[in-house]
Chain A
Amino acid sequence: MTSEQKIRAFLFYLGVFIFFAGLPFILSFALGYKFDPHKFKFTKTGIIVIKTQPANAAVYLNNALLRDKTPLTINELLPAKYNLRIELEKYYPWAREVEVEKGKVSRFEKIILFPLRPHVIQLNKERLSSFWIDPESKLIYYLNQDDSSIYTSNLEGENYKQIAPFIAITPLPAGFRLSPDKQKLLYFNKHQVAIAYLNKQREGPVQDEPFVMYYPGEGLRDVFWHSDSYHLITISNKKIQARETRIDAPDVDLVNLSRRDSDVFFDTATDTLYFTDYQKADDGNLYNNLYKIGLNTKTFLLQNLIGTKDKENGQ
């Protein structure tokens, strides 16, 4: 046997030995088994996976501090109930009892540690009556009743600037809607809908001064923009109406509601109105149904619809 053949034979048998000696450990680790030297047998264990926001928090398992910090995986835990506590300085601790089952992974990956004293940052630079955040454009809209102006800034309060005049409504707005073309902001309370123009129209006889539309006694619940950024869909306790955004435009009844607390949703992407309402059935009982009206038309088609409704109302 040459020296190379000897080396090769040694390597071969070493490889065979490593394979058969290492395989039980690798498989037991994979399957979650732990060798218990006291009982001299493999016991199936479980795993706890912990992720926190923020990370680097201390972990106590049955009151014993673990060496590693979050994010952390605790392997080879014998099946039992454990007291898990997570601590991070200046944050509220998180604690709970965890049951580890054999062969299973207990995942705690959505732990948020809330600060004891949150860091509060003032964003407005002027007086503030109300505000609204548009997540899409990542802008904050500030309404200031004192100087009748709308201001904007980014989400950090930077680039704070006055952008448009604003008419105050009382009580303060209960909701805001930015028009799909981002040119107009509507805000409303129970009896008023106000429109503010964020950019002056450059030309044409298009209204660009803020104005308020009144809905006395209507009990407005919500207002939506049509995708044309010109029509509004208003939802009150009694009616679903449509109207143009001009001060002298009439309101057109789309639906007279039988129930005061109907659920209403207007999908601007498809200009489709969904609402629930009662309807009397043949058996004389009232049943709640979900209805849909497609308003996904060009403006003139919407006007046709409004016209049809007007006729119906006239009848």
Chain B
Amino acid sequence: MGNNPKIKRLLEILPGAISWGILFLLVALAVWQPVACAIIVIIFEFYWIIRTVYLTTLLALAHRKLYRQKNRDWLADCRAIDSAGGRFKYHLIIFPVYKEGLEILQPSLEALRQSHYPKEKMIVVAAFEERNPAARQTAAALEKEFSNVFFGYLSTFHPDAIPGETRTKGANATWAAKQAKEFLSAKNVSYEEVIISCFDADTCVDKEYFGCLSYHFLTNPKPHQASYQPIPVYNNNIWHAPSFARLVEISSSFCQMIESMRIEKFVTFSSHSMSFKTLVDIDYWPVNMISDDSIVYWKAYLFYKGDYRVIPLYITVSMDVAYSSNFFRTIAMQYKQKRRWAWGVENIPFVIGSFLNKNETPFLKKVRRSYHLLESHITWAIWAVVITLIAPLPVLLHRSFFSQVSIGYNLPKITGMLLNFTMITSFAWIILSRLTLPKRPPDIKWRKNIIMIMEWVIVPVVILILGSTPALDAQTRLLLGKYMEFNPTEKTREKQH
């Protein structure tokens, strides 16, 4: 049933139709039934504030876990459960590369070298796109520096235009994983002994990352039925990034931390790890979808009939804040990146369509996960628009009427009171953002600390421009059948003095 093209198309239309439907309905109510619209706005704002407080508390709890597990000697913990070290798993690390050069890749591989995990248990794959003319040169430079560091080091070159594939990161990662599979077979390494991590090219892991990952893998009763998700932070260039780009990425990190506390809804995002055996069993990443990081989770979820989960790792992997040489290019870049993330809405037709295909996942799980998916994408697309643009509409359009009725007098007071309440949560976010910040580089002046606190004032604007709008854009494209192509984010890293 889910394979039916008409059903698939309907499921593609569904999220955008609901989001736009809600927005149009509210605008229509603001015009013709302003009191009804005002009541809905009050209910939504009240709900949103309770939700914000709830999520901020989860963020604080996640932060507490992250802080407590910081500097923990995970390898020692691994040895404690496996004193001989015989059960230590191999780690296969794939870096899908598009145009990133040595200045991005070299620090990522160096972080692996600095990792505390035994290098003889690590296989690194630098996965290049063959269509990138600089790929061979970059690969050669990296091989020269890193080929003797690990148990295995591979440079792969993903051929362009393989039938059935689109130009996505998943296609490149899949090609690299298949090359690595041959390498592992040649070395007689069982797939069950391998944990694969697929990292964005700019990902710098914590020294304890693989120890932490191994510990969770070894202590998990069903290690192959789980993905392992670290906390992504954007600390590589956070001090040098412009204010709004920094705020967006801090918010992204925080959202990920919050999600880590909601395990039943948790889905893999960006850099993450999983069992190589499971990856082979589910036929790798999707090769024609943009949101490969979450789809791979759903493929495993469906493969294991709902008995698959994401285990949060309270350890960070650090990536780059996406920004460019000028303000407007940075906004455009951020917008495209967030739209690509929001394109995760393509999960909805994939997952619900698969659920409809007589998949043996329990019915209640199907309903819950479908609801969570829809709710999260629709909320993402509409909430900022409702609070910032639609909430004032009834009073603006019917000023004279609202000046004479109680709700008109009370609405701005209630809205102001409720939104002021969110200031408290904003303070919590500011404090937590300071705690996750890396040490200030020597070339950054002290006063930047003040700026980084003051910049939170622009959050409402940032949320509107880079929060809801890209999500609405992505949903509208899916609704209209204008499918997005993978558009890798350009990474900029200033040289640190």
Contacts and interface: CB of A to CB of B under 8 A. Distances in A.
A11 B56 CA distance: 11
A5 B407 CA distance: 40
Interface residues of B, number: 27
B39 A27 contact: yes
Interface in A4-35: 4-5, 7-8, 11-12, 15, 18-19, 22-23, 26-27, 29-32
A49 interface: yes
B39 A105 contact: no
B51 A26 contact: no
Contacts of B94: none
B261 interface: yes
A12 B43 CA distance: 18
B376 interface: no
A105 B65 CA distance: 51
A4 B39 CA distance: 35
Contacts of B411: 30
Given A29-B414, A31-B406, A4 B65 contact: yes
Contact of B43 (A7, A8, A23): A23
A7 B410 contact: no
A208 B436 CA distance: 80
Interface secondary structure of A, over-half rule: helix
B414 A26 contact: yes
Contacts of A236: none
Given A15-B54, A18-B50, A30 B414 contact: yes
Interface string A119-134: 0000000000000000
Interface string B48-73: 00110110011001000100000000
B406 A103 contact: yes
A107 interface: yes
B54 A30 contact: no
Contact of B50 (A19, A32, A103, A107): A19
A105 B399 CA distance: 13
Contact of A47 (B43, B46, B53, B409): B409
B328 interface: no
A32 B42 contact: no
Contact of B406 (A5, A12, A22, A47): A47
Among A5, A7, A30, A103, max chain B CB count under 10 A is at: A30
A46 interface: yes
B57 A11 contact: yes
A206 B409 CA distance: 63
A32 B406 contact: yes
A6 to B, nearest CB: 11
Given A11-B54, A29-B414, A105 B409 contact: yes
Interface size class for chain A? Answer: 20 to 34
B46 A23 contact: yes
Contacts of A30: 38-39, 42, 406-407, 410-411, 414
B406 A104 contact: yes
B37 to A, nearest CB: 12
Nearest to B35: A31
B42 A27 contact: yes
A21 to B, nearest CB: 11
A179 interface: no
Given A23-B46, A27-B42, A105-B403, A15 B51 contact: yes
B144 to A, nearest CB: 46
A19 B405 contact: no
B90 to A, nearest CB: 30
A238 to B, nearest CB: 48
Given A4-B261, A8-B61, A104-B404, A26 B46 contact: yes
A245 interface: no
Contacts of B406: 30-32, 45-47, 103-105
A174 B190 CA distance: 111
A7 B61 contact: yes
Given A4-B65, A31-B406, A105-B403, A15 B53 contact: yes
Among B39, B58, B61, B410, max chain A CB count under 10 A is at: B410
B57 A105 contact: no
Contacts of B53: 15
Nearest to A106: B404
Given A4-B65, A12-B54, A26 B42 contact: yes
Interface string B220-262: 0000000000000000000000000000000000000000011
13 contacts: A4-B65, A8-B261, A8-B262, A31-B407, A32-B410, A45-B406, A47-B406, A103-B405, A103-B406, A104-B404, A104-B405, A105-B406, A105-B409
Given A15-B53, A30-B410, A107-B403, 15 more contacts: A5-B263, A15-B51, A19-B46, A23-B43, A23-B46, A26-B42, A27-B42, A27-B43, A29-B414, A30-B42, A30-B407, A105-B403, A105-B404, A105-B405, A107-B404
